[in-house]
Structure 1
Amino acid sequence: MKNLKHLFFFLSFLISTFMLSQNLIGKVIKVADGDTVTILTEENEQIKIRLYGIDCPEKGQDYSSKASAFTSSFCFGKIVKVTQKGIDRYGRVLGIILIGKKNLNEELLKNGLAWHYKYFDKTQKYSDLEQEAKKNKLNIWIMNNPIAPWDYRKKPKKR
């Protein structure tokens, strides 16, 4: 049984390493929210993508709808390239979405519709884009005390 567990771990490692070494290309067929989309690959496989290094407002938060609409207008129905950065605990591909040279992750930050998720990502460019949006008081940064989505998710839900 112990050997079977080791084999499973090794195979999982190999599969995830292989997946991370390639880019995905697909058509965006669903926008769940500002930072989560589903693509359909040429192999007819649906893959859920969670944008890497950023976090958009949650449903119920200010600017959630605007972030979702921005993501939808950027990529819905379009062919995108996804640079894979990992797999999250829900099995979603963590990725950077590109259309040509335009980077959705960066565009959301630049437009004040996402936080840089510094806990998981240390990209200086993402921090700079967030700071610039704050300085220019764009969207979420016009609010006096915007609540980061990771803090919002910790709050008890109202019944």
Structure 2
Amino acid sequence: MSRSCVLLLCAALVLSSAPARAAEVWLGTVSHVSDGDTLWVRPGDGGKPRKIRVHGIDAPELCQAHGPEARAALQQRALHHQVRVQSLHADDYGRLLARLWLGDEDLAALQVREGHAWSYRYRHNPGPYLGEEGEARAARRGLFADAQAQRPYAFRQRHGPCSE
């Protein structure tokens, strides 16, 4: 095997074993809460607040049963507090999809555990907070106290989007 082939194979091996680019992590202050899974965070190093969709959860629409309570819970917990943001990617609506922590607490896990959101399901994936959802369902917390509670996508299919 030629020297250039060996070098090319070594380079390919190194590149293929390199870890994926780590998600950006930054600190900021929650400046506004739109609903139970969307908020605005002003970066700690300055700049305009960024609209963030909390990764892994799906909270009721504001015009849906338990929607105002879900927003109020997130406001009470996070508004004007510093959070750690792990940026993941933009969603289909252009919002930054991110994981957020208030101190050591995962905000998404808290919203689900307290019954203010579902673990976000995608196709056959039950979502990252299935355990927290099971705990909230068993305790009949928040929206899980209502046997008729419906996921936001089902609500939108029946009633359309909330008017702002």
TM-score over 0.5 for the alignment? Answer: yes
Whole-angstrom CA distance in 1 between matches of 2:65 and 2:159: 17
Number of equivalent positions: 142
1:117 is matched with which residue?
120
2:138 is matched with which residue?
135
- Higher mean displacement: 92-101 or 117-126: 117-126
Q: Deviations over 1:93-137 (max 9, x none)?
A: 111110110111000110011011111794775101101111111
Unaligned runs of 5+ in 2: 1-19
**% identity of equivalent residues:** 27
2:101 is matched with which residue?
98
1:126 lines up with 2:129 in the alignment: yes
1:50 lines up with 2:53 in the alignment: yes
Whole-angstrom CA distance in 2 between matches of 1:125 and 1:50: 15
Flag the 1:144–1:36 CA change in 2: closer, same or farther, 3 A: same
Q: Name the TM-score, length of structure 1 as normaliser.
A: 0.80
Whichever residue aligns with residue 52 of structure 1, its letter is H
1:53 and 1:120 in contact (8 A); partners too: no
Flag the 1:121–1:84 CA change in 2: closer, same or farther, 3 A: farther
2:121 and 2:127 in contact (8 A); partners too: no
Whichever residue aligns with residue 26 of structure 2, its letter is L
Which of 28, 31, 52 is the matching residue for 1:29? 31
Give the number of the structure whose alpha-carbon radius of gyration is greater. 2
